[in-house]
Chain A
Amino acid sequence: MIGRTNAMAMTAVALLVTACGGGERGTDGLSGRVELDGSSTVFPISEAVAEEFSFSASAGVQVTVGQSGTGGGFKRFCTGETDISNASREIKESEIAECAVNGVEYERFAVALDGMAIVVHAENDWVECVTVDELRSIWEPGSAVRNWSDVRPEWPASQMRLYGPGTNSGTFDYFTEAIMGEMAVSRPDYVASEDDNVLVQGVEGDQYSLGYFGYAYYHENQTRLRAVAVDGGSGCVMPTIETINSGEYSPLSRPLFIYVNTASLQRPEVARFVEFYLEQGAELVPQTGYIALPASDYEQGLNRLAELTGG
């Protein structure tokens, strides 16, 4: 649980930083509060931006970042409780309806790219690459795969133990949609946790394990487990920053978003925070283990923001 403790310590430090920032006025005279919640996958990025923001000229603004999951975040966002919702997928129909009922209008900004990693134990020496079809046969509902040898006969006849995110996770939604073609279609008998660190720990401690989670967590834990290349129909591709950025690592890479309440954007501190997010994204995103978008995408976001705020 070392990773978990670190994450907690980092959160504590971040809170402290914001608290100190709130005490003294920033040089640009902005104050108030910006509230974010949502995807735990996007959390590290928003957290890093919020921390950097508290050192900027806008130190007078308090930024809080929650991590209730993409769905949980939209639940709060669509009642107008939060200004910005972190999302690891696009907003769903049901959520759009919920927002509409409450009169919440919003704008979507892409902030980074994420790949999903298929991971195995560090000492697993039989699997180098899996095809999307094999992944489907492993994870489909009522799957007959019990042992590794059920996937390919030359693999060991030992029970394959599966790890993955829980049903509240945006990563679960994305994986099932990318591999099964429909959201939430999955076998249920795997070890599920919303806490990616628990999954890392699980895969690490189990020689016959196979799991999936966000690329950032794999990137942070490369020494503890091993990623497997994925063949989406045009050869085996390892998840790396390059292959995710180029779109070669398909179908397991995706864009990450922030959804911003347009009414909140009329508050200068929120507008400034979003602007700061898009300006700093290219630099901060790679530090969190994700992949920055091409510079032109951030430019586009900034232009759209300028239109919305009339600046």
Chain B
Amino acid sequence: MRSRHARERLVGAVLLGFSIVSILTTLGIVGVLLFDSAAFFAEVSPLEFFTGTSWTPLFRPANFGVLPLLAGSLLIAAGAAMVALPIGLAAAIYLSEYAHIRAKRVLKPVLEILAGVPTVVYGYFALTFVTPIIRSIWPSTEIFNAASASIVMGIMIIPMVSSMSEDAMSAVPLSLREAAYALGATRVEVATRTIVPAALSGIIASFILAISRAIGETMIVTIAAGAQPALTLNPLRGVQTMTAYIAQTAQGEAPHGSVEYRTIFAVGLTLFAITLLMNILSGLVLRRFREEYE
């Protein structure tokens, strides 16, 4: 009895150790980001960083205004959201309310395959397939442009939206559905007026997580959106996102310890703050709008 107890405690301790590893990793990352960002902000004023409209740290003369990168990230995430949210939600409604159980069993995993396609494949798909199509419609489109990256990234995050939204809708109790039908509601009415509102917290949370994923995505934008930080809302132009800038500069020749090199951490910290905020927001939404049944 005693040895069994000891073994249980040992297993518990080992498992605790593993979970501490991931917590320590996160703390380590935040620590590094803060440390190097502090060094960066000792050289560049936060005012210039957060309000400057020109980002050219690898050129001379160097400018350190992060707004063009922020605008690039937001432009592309907004475009991806425009693709993914309606399609994902519609797919979720279909899967939850319309699809036959057998169709659902096939369709849901197939849709989730989209999430498993390597992002580098999506990137080249955007550059070599989507961009030429856009250019044939609007010839003035630049080779690297925000639109193709947005569209393809939107496709990539569809399963996040559809899967999580579908889970939320399926969790709505059957009694609610039956009550709506009993009142004479049609299928569309049940789906849009009963199920979607009841599952709203899960749906919104899936939206926020998908957008947060879009802001953090790197490969597609590095390949297809260009390397030209531009303060623009024109999706046919090339832009650079925060993630693409980090990838480009980390690969480059900026010497360690230089201010160019430290821009990576300042931009990384900004990115981290944004995605953290969105994840917290999604948690809040889940709690605030949760409809409790039982």
Q: Which residues of A contact B (CB under 8 A)?
A: 1, 68-72, 74-75, 94, 98, 141, 161, 166-168, 182-193, 198, 201-202, 205
Q: Could you say which residues of chain B place their CB within 8 Å of the CB of A75?
A: 253
A141 pairs with B59, CB closer than 8 A: yes
**B59 and A191 contact, CB distance less than 8 A:** no
* Contact B251 A191, beta carbon cutoff 8 Å: no
B12 in the interface, Cβ–Cβ < 8 Å? no
Contacts of A185 in B (CB 8 A): 59-61
* Minimum Cβ distance to chain A for residue B196 (Å): 42
In the complex, how many residue pairs between chain A and chain B have their CB atoms under 8 Å apart?
68
> In residues 57-108 of chain B, which contact A (Cβ within 8 Å)?
58-61
Contact partners of B227 in chain A: CB under 8 A: 166, 192-193
Q: Are A188 and B144 in contact (CB-based, < 8 A)?
A: no
- Give the residues in chain A near B252, CB-CB below 8 Å: 69, 71-72, 167-168
Beyond A184-B60, A188-B229, A190-B228, whether A202 also contacts B143 by CB under 8 A is: yes
Q: Is the CB of A189 within 8 A of B228?
A: yes
Give CA–CA (A188, B248) in the complex, Å. Answer: 15
User: In the complex, what distance in Å separates the CA atom of A191 from the CA atom of B255?
Assistant: 24
Is the Cβ of B248 less than 8 Å from the Cβ of A168?
Answer: yes
Assembled-state Cα–Cα distance A68/B250 (Å): 12
Q: How far is the CA of A98 from the CA of B255 in the complex (A)?
A: 9
Q: Which residues of B contact A167 (CB under 8 A)?
A: 58-59, 248, 252
Q: Are B228 and A69 in contact (CB under 8 A)?
A: no
By a CB distance below 8 angstroms, the chain B residues around A193 are 144, 226-227
B-side contacts of A94, CB under 8 Å: 255
B61 nearest CB neighbor, chain A only: A141
CB pair B253 A188 closer than 8 Å: no
Given the interface pairs A141-B61, A184-B60, A198-B143, the reply to whether A191 lies near B226 with Cβ below 8 Å is yes
Majority-rule SS of B interface residues: loop
- B143 touches which one: A69, A70, A141, A201 (CB < 8 A)? A201
Inter-subunit contact B143/A184 (CB<8 Å) = no
Q: Which among B61, B230, B253 is the interface contact of A189 at CB below 8 angstroms?
A: B230
Query: In the complex the two chains form, what is the Cα distance from A1 to B135 in whole Å?
Result: 14
Q: With an 8 A cutoff between CB atoms, is B128 at the interface? A: yes
Assembled-state Cα–Cα distance A185/B59 (Å)? 6
Q: How far is the CA of A193 from the CA of B61 in the complex (A)?
A: 20
| Given A71-B252, A72-B253, also A191-B143 (CB < 8 A) | yes
- Give the distance to chain B from A162, nearest Cβ to Cβ, in Å: 10
How many angstroms between the C-alpha atoms of A186 and B227 in the bound complex?
14
Taking CB atoms, residues of chain B closer than 8 Å to A191 are 142-144, 226, 228, 238
**Residue from the set A72, A75, A167, A192 with the largest chain B CB neighbour count within 10 Å:** A167
CA distance A74 to B60 in the complex (A): 22
Interface residues of B (CB under 8 A from A): 54, 56, 58-61, 127-128, 135, 142-144, 226-230, 238, 248, 251-253, 255
What are 20 A-B contacts with C-beta separation under 8 Å?
A69-B252, A70-B253, A72-B253, A74-B253, A75-B253, A141-B61, A167-B59, A167-B252, A184-B58, A185-B59, A185-B60, A185-B61, A186-B59, A186-B60, A188-B228, A191-B142, A191-B144, A191-B228, A192-B227, A193-B226
Interchain CB contact (< 8 A) of A182 among B60, B128, B143? B60
How far in angstroms is the closest Cβ of chain B from A99? 13
Q: Is the CB of B143 within 8 A of A71?
A: no
| Complex-state Cα separation, A186 to B286, whole angstroms | 49
Provide the residues of chain A in CB contact with B127, threshold 8 Å: 1
Bound form: Cα–Cα A182–B61 in Å: 11
Residues in B neighbouring A69, C-beta threshold 8 A: 251-253
Closest to A1 in B: B128
- A residues less than 8 Å from B251 (CB atoms): 68-69, 72, 168
Q: Is the CB of B59 within 8 A of A205?
A: no
Q: Which residue of B lies closest to A184 (CB)?
A: B60
In the bound complex, how far is the Cα of B69 from the Cα of A188, in angstroms? 14
> Does A188 lie within 8 Å of B56, measured CB to CB?
yes
User: Does A192 lie within 8 Å of B226, measured CB to CB?
Assistant: yes
Q: How far is the CB of A132 from chain B (nearest CB, A)?
A: 19
Closest to A173 in B: B253
**Known contacts A1-B128, A141-B59; is A166 also within 8 Å of B143 by CB?**
no
How near does chain A come to B64, taking the closest CB pair, in angstroms? 13
**Residue of A with least CB distance to B238:** A191
Q: Which residues of B contact A190 (CB under 8 A)?
A: 228
Which residues of A are found within 8 Å of B228, using beta-carbon distances?
188-192
* Chain A proximity of B255: nearest CB distance (Å): 5
The 4 closest A-B pairs by CB, nearest first: A71-B253, A168-B252, A167-B58, A188-B56
Is the CB–CB distance between A205 and B238 below 8 Å?
A: no
Find chain B residues with CB under 8 A from A192 CB. Answer: 226-228
